[in-house]
Amino acid sequence: MEILYAFLLGFFLLLVIYLFYNHKSSGNANLPPGKTGFPVIGETLEFLYAGWKGHSEKFISDRVAKYSSNVFKTSLFGSPSVVFCGVNGHRFLFSNENKLVRVWFPRSINKIFRQSTETFSTEEAINARKHIRTLIKPEGLQSHIGLMDTFAHCHFVNYWENKDIVLVFPLVKHFTFLLACRLLMSVEDPNLVAILENAVKFVLKGAFSVPIDLPGTPLNHAMKASSFIQKELLVIIKQRKIELAKGMTSPTQDILSHMLSTSDDNGSFMDEVDIANKMFGLLVGSHDNIASVCTSIVKYLAELPEIYQEVCQEQQEIAKSKAPGELLNWEDIQKMKYSWNVACEVMRLTPPSQFAFREALTDFTYNGFSIPKGWKLYWTPQSTHSNHELFPEPHKFDPSRFEGSGPPPYAYVPFGGGPRMCPGKEFARLEILVFMHHLVKRFRWEKQIPDEKIVYIPIASPEKGLPIRLFPHKA
């Protein structure tokens, strides 16, 4: 009887919330078309399920077709939301950053990364972002190409050569994490790297989970992993401060040293906790998305032998031009034009992330519809990447789309756009091209699961990890 009473009480509370929410929403008759789904959870499960099943674009395309509108309302991650689609939607959101809209993350992300929507768009956070962007500009990254080349060589020797079959996604994630630890904070101790890498796996699993912090839930595991990582980062930061004070290391050694040594326009330095937070975000963001792209490149090159052959020819010519032991340099990277066009087409067809959020800072009107203050705003690369008007035959793999001036503005957005365009875009380009260079100059390969799906949990990844059979090039 008590269980039945508890169930009825819970149902009644959900009904009250639902009716209140619908009443509040219907108070503005000029909202975009759409539905808000179930009480509290809205359409979140349907949205996530589409990604889990390998059809992430279907959630958007079905509603655009149903409502004949490039903007529609829904409810995602516990909040009333409006989805902006197409070039105009991207242009509007990117152009109004910190004016009409600001970045927003689901509650699970805020709990894990200890960032809130109230602090993420403050002047301090904006200055920190400018600081990070300054550190990873192309001219600053050029000095890291040799290190990337060395790491890639060691990775392929240790994990790919003399192997018959390899599982691509885990291997590439390990490579990008190793490189991130080295380039961001000069950490090479294999035991420490392994500990951090294992903890990051829990973080990613809980990033877009149900926001319930109870023992055993993905969010709870992710929050514990987050605390552990940040404590480890604080130890690294404190030790680095000592080394810098004693002149044992250079302020330009890596991004961590630069953060500790560089003040803002007011002469203030970032405190240790803030640096740990920023390093945590960089550590996660600078390896997982790149691993997703590199894995997708392996997939498409296996499926498209004519594309593989052109990439291989370009990379083999560069390899032949190098003296024994000579490392890749900036001039070599600039010669990889076709390879980068291929990588861009991969990111068009399979963007590593399927969505990003903003929040309305005030009431405003878009496309004749009223958007209330506080509502969450969602955009997705796939709303333009799959548009046949922007990309003729959108499902065809065609690297020539990126020749010349490339796609129209706001059509191709794997790195976002506007003030919040990913600051690590050039870092990603270098790492992806170095990976491609070492991959194709050594092997051709075949997929072991021909129809393996790409799913989003939360980033694009092959359902079974992409096992491939390797065929080394003859000497």
Beta pairing, strands 79-84 & 376-379: parallel
Nearest to 179 by CA among 444, 428, 466, 443: 428
Annotated binding site for heme: 422
Residue 56 to residue 50: CA distance in whole angstroms: 5
Distances 98 to 85, 119, 233, 373 between C-alpha atoms, Å: 20, 12, 30, 13
125, burial (CB in 10 Å: exposed 0-12, middle 13-18, buried 19+): middle
Residue 352 to residue 286: CA distance in whole angstroms: 12
Nearest to 354 by CA among 47, 37, 91, 86: 47
Residue 430 to residue 221: CA distance in whole angstroms: 33
Residue 314 to residue 332: CA distance in whole angstroms: 10
CB neighbours of 434 closer than 8 A, spacing ≥ 6? 145, 148, 149, 152, 328, 333
Residue 50 to residue 53: CA distance in whole angstroms: 5
Region of residue 454 (phi > 0: left; psi between -120 and 50: alpha; otherwise: beta):
beta
Residue 447 to residue 449: CA distance in whole angstroms: 6
Contacts 24+ apart (CB under 8 A), 446-449: 446/302, 446/471, 447/299, 447/302, 447/303, 448/165
- Assign 53 to helix, strand or coil: coil
What does the block give as tokens for 469?
A: 């059979």
CB neighbours of 33 closer than 8 A, spacing ≥ 6? 67, 69, 72, 73
CA 39 to the chain's CA centroid:
29
Residue 207 to residue 219: CA distance in whole angstroms: 7
Annotated binding site: 422
- Residue 390 has φ and ψ, to the nearest 5°, of -90, -35
